[in-house]
């Protein structure tokens, strides 16, 4: 009798607990969905806007087009002067983007390893200089860099030398800084063990340090990938023939404020050109988030 009552109250308690859990879950999901919609809305609107005409783009918040048109996509496929179209422009982007990412990662890891693990004359002053570079905006560098590359004859180089070569010299200070922070968390004992086993400095780096650094390296690579694929000023300054234009320049080619332009075409080109970026981001999402937090949490 009493046992029966006991189970009853237990069941009631379980049910109320479950209800509470469901309620809290529902609220949590509602909040998440609301915030999610808020964040995804611009992207959804952009996709919808590629099917709208100009006056609808400027007068409607509704992401679903009322009078859908495919003119934007038709316009996006145009080849300019037989030299450049959206596919070629995207290909051009990746011809300098991939070397840039690889070289940045390699040079940053080497530099970070050097500063993080070795004591040498002038290390502190050089490290301060390196950190000072963090505060130097790119705008200030544009003119002196342009003059330098001009002297070297690299302006308009078909190999995108002015864009690629600087990345060989750990020019992204932020990554060096991030990797050094990350290196501090890697126990030195591991490297000492490798040394005892007969590894030289380079072997230690490749066989021990790099695998441990992987999450940080992945986020460096992703950051560089995003920054370089968004870079507009670099290609504008150093690429001098339409056939070599990357996607960032190509998107802007038709944007003439004076005579007005078709926004749907510009948005369609933008959408096509960010698809690879979105794919890369989703594929590497976990690494990316892990890398950022790992670098920051235990400083």
Partner 1 sequence: MKRKLAATLLAATMVVAMFAGCGTTASKETATPDASTDATSVTETATTEEASSQDPNAYEECTLTFDWWGGDSRHEATIAAIEAFEKKYPGIKIEYNYGAWSDWETAKASEYLSGTNADIQQTNFDWIRKYDGDANTYLDLRTVSDTLDLSQYSDTVLALPVDSKGGLAGIPVSLTGRTFFWNKATYEKAGLSVPTTLKELMEAGPIFKEKLGDEYYPLVLTEYDRAIFMAFYLQAQTGEPIIDQNNNFTMTEEQLKLGLEFITSLEENHVIPTIEYYDGEGAEAIDKSVRWIEGKYAGCHNWDSAHKSLVSALPNGDDLVVGNALMDTGAHGSGTYVKVSQMFSISAKCEHPHEAALFLNYILNDEEGAGIMSTERGIPESKAAFAVCEAAGKIDPMVAAAHKSVMDSNPMYWNPLFDDSSLKGDTALYNNLFEGLSYGVRDGSYSIEDAAADLYAAYTAIAPAK
Residues contacting 121, CB < 8 A, separation 6+:
none
> Residue 256 phi/psi, 5° resolution?
-110, 110
Cα separation of 157 and 281, whole Å? 30
Rounded to 10 degrees, what is the CA torsion of 59, 278, 166, 200?
A: 160
User: Closest approach of Cβ 243 to partner 1, in Å?
Assistant: 10
Which residue has tokens 């404020």?
Answer: 257
Q: What's the closest the beta carbon of residue 136 comes to partner 1, in angstroms?
A: 18
Query: 76 vs 209, which CB is nearer to partner 1?
Result: 76
Measured from the CB atom, the residue of 112 and 267 that comes closer to partner 1 is 267
* Nearest distance in Å: CB 253, partner 1: 6
Beta carbon nearer to partner 1, 110 or 243: 243
- C-beta atoms surrounding 278 within 10 Å: 11
Q: Supply the minimum distance, in Å, between the C-beta of residue 96 and partner 1.
A: 17
Exactly one of 106, 141, 155, 161 binds partner 1 (CB under 8 A); that residue is: 155
Q: How far apart are CA 241 and CA 237, in angstroms?
A: 11
Choose, by CB under 8 A, the member of 134, 143, 214, 278 that binds partner 1.
143
**Pick from 28, 71, 32: which is nearest to 49 by CA?**
71
Of 112 and 244, which CB lies nearer to partner 1 in the complex structure?
Answer: 244
The verdict on 150 binding partner 1 (CB under 8 A) reads yes
- Is 169 a binder of partner 1 (CB under 8 A)? no
Q: Which is nearer to partner 1, 94 or 261 (CB)?
A: 261
CA–CA distance, 47 with 58 (Å, rounded to integer): 15
Which residue's CB is nearer to partner 1, number 146 or number 174?
Answer: 146
Of 76 and 222, the one with the shorter C-beta distance to partner 1 is 76
Pairwise CA distance, residues 204 & 208, whole Å: 5
Token pair listed for 44: 């959804």
d(CA 93, CA 274): 11
Judged by beta carbon, residue 202 or residue 233, the one nearer partner 1 is 233
CA distance 253 to 249: 6
CA distance 39 to 28: 17
Stretch that binds partner 1, among 10-18, 125-133, 141-149, 185-193 (CB under 8 A): 141-149
Other C-beta atoms lying within 10 Å of the C-beta of residue 149 = 20
Cα dihedral 84/85/86/89 (nearest 10):
-10
Positions 227 through 246 that interact with partner 1 (CB under 8 A): 232-233, 236-237, 240-242
Write the binding mask 43 to 82 for partner 1: x where contact by CB under 8 A, - elsewhere. -----------xx--xx---------------x--x-xx-
Q: Is 260 in the site for partner 1 (CB under 8 A)?
A: yes
- Among 102, 253, 292, 294, indicate the residue that binds partner 1 (CB under 8 A): 253
**Of 276, 262, 278, nearest in space to 72 by CA:** 262
Where on the chain is the footprint of partner 1 (CB under 8 A)? 54-55, 58-59, 75, 78, 80-81, 142-143, 146-147, 150, 155, 232-233, 236-237, 240-242, 249, 252-261
């Amino acid at each position: 009798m009493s046992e029966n009552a006991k189970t009853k109250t237990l069941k009631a308690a379980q049910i109320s607990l479950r209800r509470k859990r469901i309620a809290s879950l529902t609220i949590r999901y509602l909040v998440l969905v609301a915030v999610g919609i808020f964040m995804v809305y611009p992207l959804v609107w952009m996709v919808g806007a590629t099917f709208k005409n100009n006056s609808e783009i400027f007068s409607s918040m509704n992401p679903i087009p009322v009078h859908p048109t495919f003119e934007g996509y038709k316009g996006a496929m145009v080849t300019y002067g037989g030299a450049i179209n959206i596919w070629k422009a995207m290909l051009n982007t990746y011809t300098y983007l991939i070397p840039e990412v690889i070289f940045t990662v390699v040079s940053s890891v080497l530099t970070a390893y050097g500063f993080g693990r070795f004591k040498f004359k002038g290390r502190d002053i050089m490290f301060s200089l390196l950190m000072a570079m963090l505060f130097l905006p790119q705008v200030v560098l544009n003119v002196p860099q342009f003059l330098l590359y001009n002297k070297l004859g690299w302006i308009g180089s078909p190999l995108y030398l002015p864009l690629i070569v600087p990345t060989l010299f750990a020019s992204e200070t932020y990554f060096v800084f991030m990797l050094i922070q990350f290196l501090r968390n890697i126990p030195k004992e591991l490297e000492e063990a490798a040394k005892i086993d007969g590894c030289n400095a380079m072997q230690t780096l490749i066989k021990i340090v790099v695998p441990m650094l992987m999450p940080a390296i992945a986020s460096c690579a992703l950051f560089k990938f995003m920054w370089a694929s968004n870079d507009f000023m670099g290609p504008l300054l150093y690429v001098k023939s339409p056939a070599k234009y990357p996607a960032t320049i190509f998107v802007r080619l038709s944007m003439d404020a004076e005579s007005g332009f078709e926004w749907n075409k510009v948005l369609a080109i933008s959408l096509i050109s960010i698809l690879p970026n979105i794919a890369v981001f989703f594929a590497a999402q976990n690494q990316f988030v892990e890398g950022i937090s790992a670098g920051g949490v235990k400083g």
